[in-house]
Amino acid sequence: MTHIDLSQLSLLKAINKKLVSGYHISEQDRELWQQLDQQIEQYAALFAALGYELVQDARGFVYLYADDATPSMGKTSRSFALTIYILIEHFANQGNDPINALFDQDIDLSLMQSLVQHNKHLFDQLEIFSGSDLRKDVFMRMVRLGVAKATEQGFLLQAPAYRYIDALLEINDFQEMTAEEPA
């Protein structure tokens, strides 16, 4: 059994507060991340004792696994997913490497406006009607959950966004499966 020494987990309170609220701790939260990274086994054991699964992703983030979301969080998460997929398409259309661009390029209000304009049908479903809606309802929430960080120009996606990219690949696996089944 992992030895848990609370004196070493000096940031437990802050880490717990963030993780339980659904926040993803990544390298941008330097202090918390460093301690989590160093004491990950102890933290994992501690949260496991509380009935949570602490997940550390090799791409540089930590979160509490939740198997079903609250309804409001589910909607938020879907809006994140849609925005990220639209961004991937947008960057690919511009001839950029979508993954690199996704994590390297600032997303400013004018880009948000053009995204909403070009994908009106999609954003309408989430009741996002303008660039500032997108900013408020999606990107600000992303910041609150650690998926993005605010920069001078706008927002920059962070490593936790990889969860959505993984999910994207899963959707297609599922699609292929259902497509194969009737045959």
> Which listed residue (58, 68, 178, 183) binds another protein by CB under 8 A?
68
In angstroms, give the least distance from the CB of 135 to another protein: 19
> Which listed residue (85, 108, 143, 149) binds another protein by CB under 8 A?
85
For residue 48, how many other CB atoms are within 10 A of its CB? 12
Parallel/antiparallel/unpaired status of strands 25-26 and 53-57: unpaired
180 counts as binding another protein under rule CB under 8 A: no
Q: Print the binding letters for residues 6-25 with another protein: x by CB under 8 A, - otherwise.
A: x-----xx--xx--xxx---
Binding part of the chain for another protein, among 31-39, 80-88, 108-116, 151-159 by CB under 8 A, reads: 80-88
Strand ranges inside 58-123, DSSP E: 61-65
Nearer to another protein, 13 or 30 (CB): 13
> Which listed residue (1, 58, 177, 183) binds another protein by CB under 8 A?
1
Sign of CA dihedral 44, 47, 50, 51: negative
SS3 17: helix
In angstroms, give the least distance from the CB of 76 to another protein: 7
58 counts as binding another protein under rule CB under 8 A: no
CA–CA gap between residue 20 and residue 73 (Å, rounded)? 13
Element (H, E) at 40: helix 40-49
CA–CA gap between residue 160 and residue 57 (Å, rounded)? 9
> Which listed residue (99, 109, 118, 143) binds another protein by CB under 8 A?
99
Please report, as ranges, the residues that interact with another protein according to CB under 8 A. 1, 3-4, 6, 12-13, 16-17, 20-22, 46, 49-50, 52, 63-64, 66-70, 73-74, 76-78, 80-82, 85-86, 88-89, 92, 95-100, 104, 119, 121-122, 125-126, 145, 163-165, 167-172, 174-175
